[in-house]
């Protein structure tokens, strides 16, 4: 059985997403939204003009916050497009000019769960729906947790956020049973589990 060059590369972990520049013929604001906009682009691809509309997104951060017992912090809030109160990671938009990614993550963890963390590390970055949005979400792993000094005032869908702590393995099991379906939550939990699996063991 022969193997192609692409198969050999994949087996050696050589595949990676690639930037690709196209000639954008036009780019128009199709809709100015309250949170994000929709753009309509025409671009040249393989000698043809292609038209696509997509959500022009600010980007976002999310936090996998793990306590000393190996429990992950989950929040539940209402999401109108799917008509569900779904379980998620603390997360939010990159909508503060000049704010770093990690400071945005710190802010969202405090605003949504009244929690602070002393240790932070990048976990993964992910495109949530690249066929229809340019959104990229940067997920951080946070540890050494403690409550904030002042609880945050919340409104709209955040006014009745429910907070829960769940063993990481149990949260992943719930995902696999179809009980929790938020994409950023799923990716963050699995990435955290994989990172912990490769973490050096320390004796106590």
Q: What is the mean pLDDT of residues 191-202?
A: 85
Same domain, residue pair 121 and 34: no
Q: What is the mean pLDDT of residues 55-59?
A: 94
Domain coverage including residue 52: 21-56
Let me know: does 61 contact 105? Beta carbons within 8 Å.
yes
Same domain, residue pair 47 and 97: no
Same domain, residue pair 46 and 66: no
Dump the DSSP string for 51-120. Answer: EEEEEE---EEEEEEB-TTSEEEEEEEEEGGGTEEEEE-SEEE--STT--HHHHHHHHHHHHH-EEEEEE
State the catalytic residue, choosing from 86, 111, 116, 158.
158
Q: What is the mean pLDDT of residues 51-74?
A: 96
Same domain, residue pair 172 and 87: yes
Same domain, residue pair 51 and 78: no
Same domain, residue pair 156 and 191: yes
Chain centroid to Cα 66, Å, comes to 16
Q: Which pLDDT value is given to residue 88?
A: 97
Same domain, residue pair 169 and 79: yes
Let me know: does 81 contact 50? Beta carbons within 8 Å.
no
Mean pLDDT of the chain: 90
- The Cβ of residue 116 has, within 10 Å, a number of other Cβ atoms equal to 16
- pTM, entire model: 0.87
Q: Which pLDDT value is given to residue 203?
A: 44
> Which one of 56, 74, 103 terminates a domain?
56
Q: Which pLDDT value is given to residue 3?
A: 59
- Is 135 an annotated catalytic residue? no
């Amino acid at each position: 059985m022969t193997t192609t060059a692409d198969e050999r590369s994949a087996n050696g972990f050589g595949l990676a997403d690639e930037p690709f520049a196209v000639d954008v013929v036009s780019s128009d604001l199709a809709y100015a939204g309250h949170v994000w906009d929709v753009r309509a682009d025409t671009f040249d691809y393989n000698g043809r003009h292609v038209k696509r509309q997509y959500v022009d997104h600010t980007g976002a951060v999310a936090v996998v916050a793990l306590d000393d017992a190996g429990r992950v912090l989950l929040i539940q809030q209402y999401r109108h497009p799917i008509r569900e109160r779904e379980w998620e990671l603390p997360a939010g938009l990159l909508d503060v000019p000049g704010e770093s990614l990690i400071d945005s993550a710190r802010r969202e963890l405090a605003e949504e769960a009244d929690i602070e963390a002393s240790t932070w590390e990048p976990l993964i970055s992910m495109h949530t729906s690249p066929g229809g949005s340019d959104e990229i979400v940067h997920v951080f792993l946070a540890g050494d947790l403690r409550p904030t000094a002042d609880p945050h005032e919340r409104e709209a869908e955040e006014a009745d956020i429910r907070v829960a702590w769940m063993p990481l393995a149990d949260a992943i099991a719930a995902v696999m049973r179809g009980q929790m379906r938020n994409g950023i939550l799923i990716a963050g939990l699995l990435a955290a589990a994989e990172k912990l699996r490769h973490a050096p063991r320390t004796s106590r």
